[in-house]
Amino acid sequence: MQEFLLNIPSIKNFFQDDKLIIKEIGDGNLNYVFLATSSKDSSKSLIIKQAVPYLRCAGEEFALSRKRMTYEIRALKSYKSHVPKIYYSDEEMSIVIMQYLKDHIILRQGLIQRVYYPKFSEHISTFLANTLFYSSSLYLDSTNKRKLMDRFNSNTQLCKLTEDFVFTFAFMPHKTNHVEDNLKDEANKLFNDIEFKTNVLKLKYIFMTQADALLHGDLHTGSIMINEKETYIIDPEFAFIGPFGFDIGALVANLLSSYISHIFVTQDKKYQEWILQTIKEIYQRFEEKFLTLWNNTDESALINPNFSYNQKFKQEFMKQIFQQSIGFAGCKMTRRVFGIAGVEEIRGIKDPTIRKSASVLVLKIGTSLVNNYHNLHDIDDLISFIKANS
């Protein structure tokens, strides 16, 4: 591999004439991940990520096209900030070589360890506002919007994974689910909750057909690398053109899971309060930044500079993004209780009784959000709703 790497000019330029120490460091779920480090200067490292044509953790018989890396590369290159620096990528070879984030940890772990991240809401709100606005018909012209859709439309397999695992299987009896004995009653209740499932279908339909903007597609707290100063978004292999609220919803869902976990595990009220405050700040700043970008745009696929309209249009538009985000958040929270790939801060709770209590509260809040998002009008409403129900 050393020869391959040093034949790439940008990589050669990075390492100069140093020999490389290469080791595999992937968690082994989906891809191969290697760390290449200079043998002379251990602070000089790059990450090499390569997709193989199957779900690595499940074996070669579980086919998953390595084409997914194509969409990851395209998304990484679309982002304007808060993304690892890309040194090299090759869609044909399903390979990307990028900055090594050695001083950062996965946000999910940081939240479990009760680390405060004072800049996180500022960073992630910038990422969300930029990514969603600049890839939408509010900014792009008609031609460039369709070109962008073309570049992501065929990420079919990963879109289908979301359709199946986020919107379907986790809410019905299915072999991929994980239902603990002491939660069987709750699972039965959920699987027979027709009102909830009907509301899920509405959100699933929006997910499948609403082509607002470029999504990360899997923006949970495991897709964010962080420290007190910096925030990086990683792993956008689920990227596609979908509804504005889906990434925001994923993020809110995972922050709420962490909040609920701390109610039962650490009982740290200050940290719980910080998480809620962070959700509020993320949303407020996202909305503010998104609107600023929009107000500075005179012409786009949607807007013509000589076509006057009522500014209330933008308020209603933003309210719809908010409500949709909360609906998706509820869906994402609920699906993690019985569905494949539960979140560590809940499913990893050692004590079964505490684990059950936390799961029950996730279910209660998640299903309430799916059933009531149309009744929440702004982020303050959401925070009050969470406090009143937890």
The contact set with a copy of itself (CB under 8 A) reads: 137, 142-143, 145-147, 149-150, 153-154, 156, 159-160, 163, 168-169, 171-174, 192, 194-195, 197-198, 201-202, 204-205, 208-212, 301-304, 306-310, 312-313, 317
Residue 18 or 91 having the CB closest to a copy of itself:
91
Nearest to 79 by CA among 239, 301, 317, 297: 239
Comparing CB distances to a copy of itself, the nearer of 116 and 205 is: 205
CA-CA distance, 255 to 262, in Å (whole number)? Answer: 11
- Residue 170 C-beta: closest distance to a copy of itself, Å: 11
Q: Are strands 20-24 and 231-233 parallel, antiparallel or unpaired?
A: unpaired
CB 290 to a copy of itself: min, Å = 15
Nearer to a copy of itself, 159 or 329 (CB): 159
Q: Which two tokens stand for residue 322?
A: 């908010």
- Identity of the residue numbered 295: N
| Shortest distance in whole angstroms from residue 175 CB to a copy of itself | 11
Token pair in block for residue 349: 């709770």
Structure tokens at 241: 């053109």
Packed helices 379-388 and 352-372: angle between N→C axes, nearest 10 degrees: 140
Minimum separation from the CB atom of position 283 to a copy of itself (A): 22
CB of 193 to a copy of itself, least distance (A): 10
Rounded distance between C-alpha atoms, residue 137 and residue 144, angstroms: 9
How far is 219 from 221, CA to CA, in rounded Å?
7
- Rounded CA-CA distance 216/16 in Å is 34
Shortest Å distance, C-beta 167 to a copy of itself: 9
For a copy of itself, give the closer residue by CB, 174 or 280.
174
Task: Return the number of the residue (96 or 190) whose C-beta is nearest a copy of itself.
Answer: 190
- Whose CA is closest to 179, among 289, 313, 335? 335
Distance of CA 127 to the CA centre of its chain: 12
Distance from C-alpha of 269 to C-alpha of 208, rounded to nearest angstrom: 38
Least CB distance to a copy of itself at residue 65 (A): 11
Q: Does residue 157 contact residue 64 with C-beta atoms inside 8 Å? A: yes
Would you list the DSSP string of 45-75? EEEEEEE-SB-GGG-TTSB--TTHHHHHHHH
Nearer to a copy of itself, 141 or 273 (CB): 141
CB of 241 to a copy of itself, least distance (A): 9
Cβ proximity to a copy of itself: between 84 and 366 the closer is 366
Minimum CB distance to a copy of itself smaller for 207 or for 274: 207
Distances in Å between the Cα of 142 and the Cα atoms of 105, 138, 318 are: 39, 10, 21
